[in-house]
Structure 1
Amino acid sequence: MEASFFPSIVAFIWIGILLMLGTYLRAKVPFLQRILFPASLIGGLIGFVLINAGWLGVPTTEGWKAIDQAPFGTLTFHLFAFGFVGIGFLESAQKTDNSKVVLRGALWIALLFTMMFCIQALLGKGIFAAWANLFGGQFETVNGYLLGAGFTQGPGQTLAYASIWENTYKTANAINTGLAFAAVGFLVAGLVGVPLALYGLKKGWAACEDGKGLPRCLLRGLRDEGDNPSCAFSTTHPANIDSFGFHMGLMAATYGLAYLVAVAWTLYAPQALRGLGFGMLFFWGMLVAMGVRKFMKARRINTLLDNETCHRITNMTVDFMICSVFMGIQFSTLQDILIPFGLSIIVATVITLALCLWFGRRSPEYGFERCLALFGYCTGTAASGLLLLRIADPEFRTPVAVEIGAMNVCLLFIFDTTVTLSMPFAPREGFPLAWIFLGIAVGIPIIMYFLKLIRKPAL
């Protein structure tokens, strides 16, 4: 029985320990509060140091047994895919009095998000290729494209692409490089995004600045006694099945259906596309969940689904995934690309910041708030964008928070049909990925100009 703990259960336990440590440090260390680092990021950074020093493991009856990065990479992949099942079950209940503004803002963010992905990917690929040509090195230059995925889409989707590359095209170190890009992206969102938000407030750029500052609970990351809003509603009777257990069971069963879709795709899709089977498991999970939700609605049993419960489960997977991604990175395999890796991060950060500010100044409305949300989204995740937005708009009085949610509808048509379906084929000989990305990066500003999404500078 003792052997059953290793390695997956031990990895899960360590994530839990580090999340608790991160929560404690966020509540006690003023510096971490000033830069608003979440507990998952703090714990993940500590875990990265510990596991690469060889200090993570578990005591056994035969002595200390160390653990490596492999199980954390596996957990990251499945936590990400499972979270997309939760996203598929979500049904937006947010409304606004000005739907035209929200639609315009959602389209503005979605178009620029897609453009940023392409620019970052081209920068990464270009710097990797230039370094290899000038100074040599035994590394795959195609892995530079993962800078765009790591920064804009986060670790889970980056891991999905990298898994396809390694399994189908035998691209060396794609997973480790992609996870490293995603991990550093979270750091950039906090270390650059938070000072940007505070600077903008000082300059009076915020549309709804109230001068109250950030609430204590946001800084500490913990709520005080008496300040405990409800976060979910029960849809089942606990004498039968707990409501949280019902939702977890439904999501697990749906994940199983997504697994069957992946198996069927791998068996029956054209040979060149079979790598998408399990590599796109997150996408199948979301689609199947949306189908199950529509079926439940047609059968009039959709009242069993609580939106907040699905939302909380999804957020939980994100917390565990962010912490896990840092411990899935093997530092020794990054040493050959350390300089081009660092250069690509610096250049991408500077250009992303400059573009966010340039387009934010020319946004039809709420330019600073949209700039912050876009920068957080294009370096971390949607949660990073919301966190930066909350600094400038603590009560979410502007519609930008709603626009962040609505942008996903736009992305289904703008982004997934182009970038997401192109990235898996990047290592394929002759595939024109660079030209696709270049066309998107050049075309989007032109489209925005004709849609009147670029106005005269306001900030």
Structure 2
Amino acid sequence: MEADMVGLSFIILGIFLFIGKWLRVLIPLFQRLFLPSSLIAGLLALIVGPEVLGQIFDLFTSEDFVLQQGFIPEEVLLAWEELPGLFINIVFASLFIGKDLPSIRKMWDIGGAQVVMGQLLSWGQYVIGLVLVIFILTPIFDVNPLVAGLIEISFVGGHGTAAGLAGTFNELGLEEGTDLALGLATVGVLSGVIIGIIFINWGARTGKAQEISENQGIKMEEETGIIEFDDREPAAQLTTKPESVEALSIHFAYIGIAIGVGAILLEGLVQLEQFTWGAWTDIELMVHVPLFPLAMVGSIIVQILSNLFDKYNIIDRGMINRISGFSLDILIVSALGTVSITAIGDNFVPFIILGAAGLIWNVLAFLYLAPKMIPTNWFERGIGDFGQATGISATGLLLIRIADPQSNTTSLEGFGYKQILFEPLVGGGLFTAASTPLIAQLGPVTVLIIAGIVTIAWLLIGIFYFGRKNKG
């Protein structure tokens, strides 16, 4: 592919992001749903591309019609198809760089109940997906059993993880996996916000949401996504002189190092597998695991080394956030813009069953398990776990901010600590990345037994350890 076409693909992607942002500002429905501008932009790109508009033109025009593929050139779409697999590494390599890494004890004391609740939700999603595959989806609809992992991959991992696992899906013969996962991720984000807001209104009326009353509204800046002029703060801090090195460049270099460390770790695991359990059992997992979860481990290593040796504190978390946020926006637009609606349509009933089952599990867990597992402020803390389990961490943060606008509880702090103990394993972590290869190698029944044992373990810890603590 020529370099100028790659450049054009970014220009067109930027145009869609621009339109998506202003659609969010101008359309009240998008504001009430708290849709990210990148999600709006990606869906718009999908609509005006070959999968929707192109199909309409195909019905009424000849094959040589200039808009036969919609408004997005085929070469641009080919470039977009490569972007998610690249930018997901940047997103995950940014997770812990520039963050304070408190002691495990402190994280567990403050956020332990949320860690347990989040783990229970994620592992429960695997159990539900595997049960559906074993008893319904594969026997009745002849669906590939590898779809069993899509609920957790899509709901908790989100669009980024779904797109980042495209290579793994294709290697294992689940070519429709990426499209189904991206569709489920979109369902998750929309449902997480809508159901979460319903829960908060219900909590305000019943007194379960103690930090918000019925007449407390949502700030306009939350709806439009634009910060009021007087409330604006610097996006990041310059930690290096531009004549020495641009601050953005050195922060990007730190992220690159984290990705490099992750690549070394992954290659080491691949070689270890080939000479140990891979050679003994003919079971290969690591060769199908993508780079991004190891890039996350790399970010932890880079941060630990920075704490030990960087006396100048060069890393600014705000700058890392900007790089990560930019990468995630690029990833979401390019991934959604290249979704195959045909693949979803061919598997529509299984798609609906997976999405509905995942949502039912999350709702029931929040209503009936969160009060028993989270000893204090269960609503404010549990709503964040529900949001993340349905529509990624950003949805969880949004719901926490609405339910606890003054941060009077430990919900926000606990949610932050939770990510450090949560994301290395699920929600885009090592098990999320390895779940599909595991199902392919061990079979859904074996993985169901494993996931079931882990789910029960988290449930027992939640009820009998945290649930018995003084509710104050």
Normalised by the shorter chain, which TM-score bucket? 0.7 to 0.9
1:4 match? 3
Partner amino acid, structure 2, of 1:19: L
Q: Deviations over 1:254-313 (max 9, x none)?
A: 434434544555566415676535733112222223323333333334511112211232
Q: CA 1:350–1:132 in 2, change beyond 3 Å: closer, same or farther?
A: closer
Residue 170 to residue 418, structure 1, CA distance change in 2 (3 Å): closer
Match of 1:445 among 434, 447, 459: 459
In 2, the alpha carbon distance for the partners of 1:426 and 1:23 equals: 39
Q: Which moved more, 1:258-267 or 1:397-406?
A: 258-267
Please name the residue that 1:186 is paired with. 189
Q: 1:436 aligned to 2:441?
A: no
Report deviation, 1:67: 4.8
Asked if residue 281 in structure 1 is aligned to residue 284 in structure 2, the reply is: no
Match of 1:258 in 2: 262
TM-score normalised per structure 2: 0.83
Given residue 118 of structure 1, which amino acid in structure 2 is its aligned partner?
A: W
State whether residues 162 and 178 of structure 1, in contact with CA within 8 Å, keep that contact through their aligned partners in structure 2: no
Distance change >3 Å, CA 250–CA 350, structure 1 → 2: same
CA distance in 2, matches of 1:170, 1:244: 40
Q: 1:142 to 1:403 in 2, by over 3 A?
A: same
User: Number of aligned pairs?
Assistant: 446
Q: Assess, with a 3 A threshold, how the Cα gap between structure 1 residues 183 and 379 changes in structure 2: closer, same or farther.
A: same
Q: Which amino acid aligns with 1:17?
A: I
Aligned in 2, Cα 1:112/1:69: closer, same or farther, shift over 3 Å? farther
Residue number in structure 2 paired with 1:306: 316
Q: Letter of the aligned partner of 1:75 in structure 2?
A: L
Asked if 2 retains the 8 angstrom alpha-carbon contact of 1:122 and 1:437, the reply is yes
Q: 2:410 matched to 1:399?
A: yes
Compared with structure 1, are the counterparts of its residues 319 and 165 closer, same or farther at alpha carbon in structure 2 (3 Å cutoff)? closer
Aligned AA (1:330): S
| SS of equivalent residue, structure 2 residue 242 | coil
Cross-structure match for 1:65: 73
Residue matched to 1:115? 120
Per the TM alignment, residue 406 of structure 1 is displaced from its structure 2 partner at its CA by: 0.6
Contact kept, 8 Å, 2:204 with 2:210, in 1: the verdict is: no
The equivalent residue for 2:437 is 424
Aligned to 1:220: 224
SS at match of 2:95: helix
- Residues 123 and 255 (structure 1), Cα distance of their counterparts in 2 relative to 1, 3 Å cut: same
- Report the Cα offset of residue 417 of structure 1: 7.1
* Pairing 1:332–2:342 present: yes
Residues 198/227 of structure 1: CA separation in 2 closer, same or farther (3 Å cut): same
Q: In 2, distance between residues paired with 1:418 and 1:50?
A: 36
Contact 2:257 2:302 in 1 (8 A): no
Identity of aligned residues (%): 19
Consecutive unaligned residues in structure 2, runs of 5 or more: 56-65
**Which of 165, 170, 173 pairs up with 1:166?**
170
Alignment of 1:192-207 (within 5 A): 192-207=195-210
Query: Deviation of residue 109 (structure 1)?
Result: 1.9
Three-state SS of the structure 1 residue aligned to 2:73 is strand
CA distance in structure 2 between the aligned counterparts of 1:163 and 1:406, rounded to whole angstroms: 31
CA–CA separation in structure 2 for the residues paired with 1:351 and 1:79:
31
Counterpart check, 1:408 vs 2:390: no
Query: How has the CA–CA distance of structure 1 residues 287 and 353 changed in structure 2, closer, same or farther, with 3 Å as cutoff?
Result: same
- Is 2:88 the counterpart of 1:80? yes
